[in-house]
Amino acid sequence: MVPVAAAAAVIPAKQSFGQLAGLHTVNDPLDLKSSVALVIDQETHEVLLSKNDQAVLPIASLTKLMTALIITQARLPMNELLTITQDDVDTEKGSRSRLTVGTTLSRGEMLHLALMSSENRAANVLGRTYPGGLEVFVAQMNSKARQLGMADTRYVEPTGLSSRNQSSARDLALLVNVAHGDPLIRELSTSPAHEVAVGHKTLQYNNTNGLVKNPAWDIGLQKTGYISEAGRCLVMQTQIAGRKLIMVFLDSAGKFSRLADAQRVRNWVESSARVSGKIPSVSAKNG
């Protein structure tokens, strides 16, 4: 009888850049699972909570906020039809997409899917079909980052699949503030669900952030992101206890922990407002 082969060795999960840098060893009073966090009052710019907020890390699909900003500010026709080609297929991570090669949708539909459902091929076709092509588009992304004062930020492509797309929480808060000023980005990023007709089929897409369907939350803009190098990421503009807040969470370890971190912050803000009417600032940094 042939002996049963030993169980295959468990391959350890790939560590994120934040884990490799030891950022998860930093403790904070709210016991956040994200190694980087920043909460800012959007109107007064007061920093309410900061944790490793200057660390520069991969940002995954948070990239798509800048992609959207470049598209909307270029005033390109949203009804123009764009077609997915082989050039839009992910060769970086091998991620899947229901937008098969040959799929044609309007620029507006592509933008909707990129922001709401983090559709990578949709984001790539937006950059590829920009006047001058992908290289010019990425240059515009980096130029806009410099214009906004995002000194820690660098983009190499429009989807976030590359770990070379990197930023800090402070930079991302600047981007969220500007993107929140765009009505279309606000609308599309917080859309709970959307259907698109592709040939004879109707595809149902849902928001990657379950909080947008929660009536207890007042979310004005949001974007999620994930690649193994970045961990789970989330940015939001939201109103809590009468204050407009910008939240940034990077490199969260668990699948749902970035949303749980947002809830922890919300509970803290509401509790502080009830007890004293004032929210104390919290800061935690590495080393």
Which runs of consecutive H residues, i.e. helices, occur in the chain?
Answer: 17-20, 63-73, 107-116, 120-128, 134-147, 169-180, 183-189, 257-275
pLDDT at 274: 82
This prediction has a pTM of 0.93
Give catalytic status of residue 167 as yes or no: no
Give catalytic status of residue 118 as yes or no: yes
From the list 35, 118, 162, 252, the catalytic residue is 118
- What gap in Å lies between CA 205 and CA 228, rounded to an integer? 23
pLDDT at 5: 47
From the list 61, 163, 167, 189, the catalytic residue is 61
- What gap in Å lies between CA 77 and CA 205, rounded to an integer? 23
pLDDT at 105: 97
Domains in the chain, please, with CATH?
21-90+97-284 (3.40.710.10)
Give catalytic status of residue 228 as yes or no: no
- What gap in Å lies between CA 166 and CA 163, rounded to an integer? 7
pLDDT at 255: 83
Per-residue pLDDT of the chain (287 residues; tens, 9 = 90+): 544 444 445 556 789 999 999 999 999 999 999 999 999 999 999 999 999 999 999 999 999 999 999 999 999 999 999 999 999 999 989 999 999 999 999 999 999 999 999 999 999 999 999 999 999 999 999 999 999 999 999 999 999 999 999 999 999 999 999 999 999 999 999 999 999 998 889 999 999 999 999 999 999 999 999 999 999 999 999 999 999 999 999 999 888 999 999 999 999 999 998 876 666 677 776 54
Q: What is the DSSP string of 31-94?
A: --SEEEEEEEETTT--EEEEESTT--EE-GGGHHHHHHHHHHHTT--TT-EEE--GGGS--SS-
From the list 64, 189, 223, 257, the catalytic residue is 64
pLDDT at 287: 43
